Amino acid sequence: MRRLCLVVMFTAFVLPCARAWAHGVVGDYIFLEPLIAEDPTPANELDIVQPSWVRGADGRTFTLATSIEKVIGNGNQSDAWVPRWSVGAGSSWLYQSPKEGANQSGFDDLNLFLKYAFLVLPEHEFLLGAMVNLQLPTGDPAVQTQNHTSLGPELVWEKALGDLPDWAALEYLRPLGFQGDCGYLPALSGSTSHLLFADQVVEYSLPYLSNSVRDIGLPEPLRDMFLFTEFNYSQLVAGPARQTFPNLLATPGIAYVSYYFELSLGTQFALNRASVPGTHAAFIGLLDIFYDAIFPQANWALFGGK
């Protein structure tokens, strides 16, 4: 995984430069990078560190994840280049400390994806896209999710409310944004193990409030922060006749977003009885680097732009 990230980063820097674009921008709204849900916007970003700590009924798990995404294609819309295609890869290092038995540590599966934003409406701050996810069992068998290759589709979307009428009763709703995904990841071989998942993010942009609605005098760093809550669903379908109980979680948090990076912190709460044993306590963090803002040479695309 480390070699793959280095190759992608090296390629991003040495190829010719194209016109720059901002991260997560659809219309006038800047969407954040979620903690759990997939970011619908194709972007040049490096999740350099994403730690999580979870205490459940069976023990504790510490995870340190990293991933990288690269825009490979964009389209011309309203006289501006809009990112349309991206590819990415990611993996995690896990340390499991069960209540019974020996501790285990190692790398998890390698996840690869292709993302395409096929509908972008800047005037309505709306984006709809699709992804193909490939999960390869390249990690340590003691800690990785499964031992078979998985391949499946995912639908992603995001919508902000900046196109609401500029009325006094509605103006403070305009900084609201919504991001979501829904996917299916079946195993291609071996014992059937098919993952269903869906996530919905509700976020409130204090930068949008200050810059596009009303400047209420928020000081730094508050004026660059987002308040958000994710609602996360996952369920493992095992075989054609039966399935596991759904895992339903809420992930509230706060994020600081600058031109160069995002720093986020959140926690998780179980929303149904089946999720309680696995989530007695959980904390998740994220440091996301927008590397094309630091290295303009990364603003190239294979097609759709100069």
The tally of CA atoms less than 13 A away on the side-chain side of residue 35 is 31
pLDDT of residue 6: 42
- Interval 2-17: pLDDT, tens: 444 443 344 433 333 3
Which residues of the chain have a pLDDT value below 50?
1-21, 79
Contact present, 23 and 55 (Cβ < 8 Å):
no
Tokens of 8: 């992608």
CA–CA separation, 28 and 76 (whole Å): 17
CA–CA separation, 258 and 183 (whole Å): 30
- Interval 244-267: pLDDT, tens: 889 999 999 999 999 999 999 999
Domain ranges of the chain: 2-298
Tokens of 289: 């680097």
The model's pTM is: 0.87
Burial class from Cβ neighbours inside 10 Å (0-12, 13-18, 19+) for residue 299 reads buried
pLDDT of residue 47: 94
Task: Tell me which residue has tokens 């430069």.
Answer: 17
Give CATH for domain 2-298.
2.40.160.40
Cis status, amide bond into 16, omega within 30 of 0: no
Task: Tell me which residue has tokens 């980063």.
Answer: 9
pLDDT of residue 245: 85
Contact present, 19 and 305 (Cβ < 8 Å):
yes
Residue 13 phi/psi, 5-degree rounding, is -85, -35
User: What single letter denotes the amino acid at residue 18?
Assistant: A
pLDDT of residue 142: 79
CA–CA separation, 301 and 292 (whole Å): 12
